[in-house]
Chains A and B, each alone.
Chain A
Amino acid sequence: MQSNEEQNNSRENPVKKLLKTAGNTMLVPFLAVLTALIVGGVVIAMVGGNPFYAYLGLFQGAFGSAKAWSETAVWASPYIFAGLAVALAFKGGLFNIGAEGQLALGAVVAAWIGYALPDMLGVSLPTIVHLPLAIGLGILAGALWGAIPGALKAYTGGHEVINTIMMNYIALNMVSFLLNGPMKDKSPGNVIARTPEIAESARFTPIFEGFRLHWGFVLALIVAVVVWWLLWKTTLGFEIRTVGSNPDAAKYAGINVKRTIILTMTLSGLLAGLAGVIEVTGLNYRHELGFSVGYGFDAIAIALLGKTHPLGVVLAAILFAGMRNGGTRMQFLTQIPVDVISVIQGLILLFVAADAIIRYIYRIRAREERLVLTRGWGG
């Protein structure tokens, strides 16, 4: 049966085949999003709103104009990085809930390099030096924050779900300490917990005049390709995926499982750190307390919606970015709180995770694949 189908496929023309595979993979996530929107519409109607106006506003705000597209892409940049971070960890059989903390540390370090380094050195740096330095040290901080729970997992078996969450709280406490104290913007009249503005030389410039869309979005797309290449075209990627799907087999095949676990978490933290760096260097030009609340959790949903594949992550990130961006316009038009977006996103995740429900509703034949990511507390 299986081989028959494959034979049929191989006779078709390759473009058609690719489209068919992509269509098959994307069918369930697409229906999951659709179902979540329908249920979300019922919720909106129940609280007295008009779901059609609400979704019209949502769509206009997200993709209705050049400006809307630009803003959606601006939102999407950190989502892509954070989603890739979680997806990469999933591929290695690890659940990184710590993107939030890794991101915050990356942002705070990039901001510090951005505003303090020129003063410390007493010279103004050219962009070609300053920006890479801010990015490099920022992602190093994120990588370190990912490596710690990775090492704890590898050497003591302490479960990464709990350790990454604890590291989140530690990072957020540290960042609030820094932003309220040593790193606080000392300009007169400032009462907000935020850093001073970073130097011009540490910034990503906008791509088009008059839009906020910056080169960080392009970097995000490039990094997505790099992650795909790393996972499927390199030895390290093969090791990560093998450890992820069967650590025992990986061990017998001679893969250093401990090293791979630590590396996976380090890379994951690095990508999450990049999400924070991009917000500081490309958009806000400073780090402000609480700018990222929820990116870490959204990233989990994005990684799952994208089926932990880099291309899927990019598409899911753009969808989530559109919803976040369009939510503001929806609230303006219909007075429905923007928080309803979180409900819809939770529902999307629910239907993606429990794809059996979707298959049942839409009578889609089940294929023998189930996303198994974790194996209890045993490590």
Chain B
Amino acid sequence: MDWRRFSVIALVIAILFTVVLLIGQARDEPLVIITSLMATTIAVATPLTLGALSGIFCERAGVVNIGIEGMMLGAAFFGWLAAIYMNTIFEMPPLLSLIVGVIGAILTGGLFALLHAVLSITYKVDQIIGGTVINILAIGITGFLNRQLFFESGSIFGGNVPHAPGVLPRIQIPFLVNIPVVGRIFEQQPVAISAILLVIISHYVLFHTRWGLRTRAVGEHPKAADTVGINVAFMRYANVVIGGFLAGLGGAYFTLESVPSFEPLLTNGRGFISLAAMIFGNWSPFGAWAAALVFGASQAFQIKLQLFRDVIPAQWAFLQNSYIVGLTPYILTMLILTGIVGKTIPPAADGVPYEK
């Protein structure tokens, strides 16, 4: 792996954490602060990690996917809707309806991805435009249904937003969670845990299985892959839909794991930040995960600074301003993207429709 990249990541995270530590020491033990920063970082990095993995599967197969934002937004809405529907109409127990919700979110992501695949593989539409279509459609559909189903009188829920069945419960990882203080890091919710597992699985699938080899072949040199008998269109379709499932799981994080509510546009650019993480990680699962952690850390930084607001020393007064601190993830994305760590190499046939 690329050690220069990882040391830059470690450095950025260290800087962000140090600032919070220096400010927060007046109020808390350093170890407590670090632990809670790390726990928040891992949680917040979850949708970014899954979004980046989604992008990796699509682009390793040669399909650019900037519709991840829309896939996540759609999945967040329909997963949430499914959970509420099961809970209120079919009176399922909360946990079971949440699980149905997660499945619904994953399938929604897959459906949006299928649309992207049809557009970009079958109809050979410019892939950036195909992705934009998905983003705009997702904003429209979720905004429309959100209002039509919940806020109009005469709708199925009678114009009231019904009670959501809560969020997915925390899972304690055996043994590790018993370590004093630091153990808190190992108490995470299911989507966050599966994101980390999926990083490992994706790495294995892409680089150590026949499926992965074929995927990379159609992304690097579709003609050669075709010649040796690999079905280029099928491989691309399959990987884009797998990417959609991953983005869908990422969407589930927002409404089923983080907060039990939906609001229009709630993904707030996370899908695009995922793409930056994917590029920065050079289209590799572990690299993308590391990059996602940087953005997670910058969010954790922002959240903690809000908590320590009244102990921020006067000479650092600008850190009290939530708008200025709120810029951190976006500026970091740009800095990292613009080649702070050298050139990244996309798959050779990325974004190019395959013509026989």
Contacts and interface: CB of A to CB of B under 8 A. Distances in A.
B177 to A, nearest CB: 36
A263 to B, nearest CB: 19
A165 interface: yes
A42 interface: no
Q: A174, A304, A371, A374: which has the most chain B beta carbons within 10 Å?
A: A374
B132 interface: yes
A337 interface: yes
Contacts of B129: 304, 349, 353, 371, 373
Interface residues of B, number: 51
A170 B272 contact: no
Interface stretch (A17-25, A72-80, A152-160, A243-251): A152-160
A371 B64 contact: no
B269 interface: yes
A371 B141 contact: no
B139 A161 contact: no
A339 to B, nearest CB: 4
Contacts of A371: 126, 129
Contacts of B136: 297, 300-301, 342, 345-346, 349
Most buried by A among B125, B151, B333, B351: B125
Contacts of A350: 119, 133, 137
B283 to A, nearest CB: 10
A337 B152 contact: yes
Given A177-B324, A349-B132, A170 B351 contact: no
Given A339-B144, A345-B140, A377-B350, A162 B133 contact: no
Interface stretch (B42-50, B190-198, B204-212, B334-342): B334-342
Interface in A258-297: 294, 297
A170 B126 contact: no
Interface in A331-351: 335-337, 339-347, 349-350
A375 interface: yes
Interface string B325-348: 011001101100111000110100
A59 interface: no
A376 B65 CA distance: 10
B136 to A, nearest CB: 4
A378 interface: yes
Contacts of B326: 173
A162 B337 contact: yes
Interface in A71-94: none
Given A342-B140, A343-B140, A371-B126, A158 B132 contact: no
B10 to A, nearest CB: 22
B106 interface: no
Given A300-B132, A337-B147, A346-B141, A173 B323 contact: yes
Nearest to A97: B132
Nearest to A298: B136
A342 B331 CA distance: 30
A176 B323 contact: yes
A356 interface: yes
Interface string B138-170: 011101101110011010000000000000000
A339 B146 CA distance: 9
Contacts of A47: 148
Interface of A is mostly: helix
B275 interface: yes
A39 B151 CA distance: 23
Contact-size category for A: 35 or more
Contacts of B327: 169-170, 173-174
Given A170-B330, A176-B323, A343-B137, A354 B352 contact: no
Given A297-B135, A353-B129, A346 B350 contact: no
A51 B331 CA distance: 45
Interface string B113-125: 0000001000111
Contact of A343 (B132, B144, B331): B144
Contacts of B147: 337, 339
B64 A376 contact: yes
A159 B131 CA distance: 15
Interface in B289-308: none
B140 A339 contact: yes
A101 B332 CA distance: 18
A353 B119 contact: yes
Q: Which of B143, B154, B324 has the most CB of A within 10 A?
A: B143
Contacts of B125: 353-354, 356
Given A337-B147, A353-B125, A373-B126, A169 B346 contact: no
Contacts of B339: 156-158
A307 to B, nearest CB: 13
A335 B159 CA distance: 13
A162 B137 contact: no
Contact of A370 (B124, B137, B139, B152): B124
Contacts of B321: 177
A165 B269 contact: yes
Nearest to A48: B154
Contacts of B311: none
A201 interface: no
Contacts of B337: 152, 158-159, 162-163
A166 interface: yes
Interface of A: 47-48, 95, 97, 152, 156-159, 161-163, 165-170, 173-174, 176-177, 180, 294, 297, 300-301, 304, 335-337, 339-347, 349-350, 353-354, 356-357, 370-378
10 contacts: A159-B279, A162-B334, A163-B337, A169-B327, A339-B140, A342-B136, A345-B136, A346-B137, A354-B123, A376-B351
Q: Which 10 A-B pairs have the closest CB atoms?
A: A342-B140, A376-B351, A177-B323, A346-B137, A158-B338, A339-B144, A343-B140, A156-B338, A337-B147, A339-B143
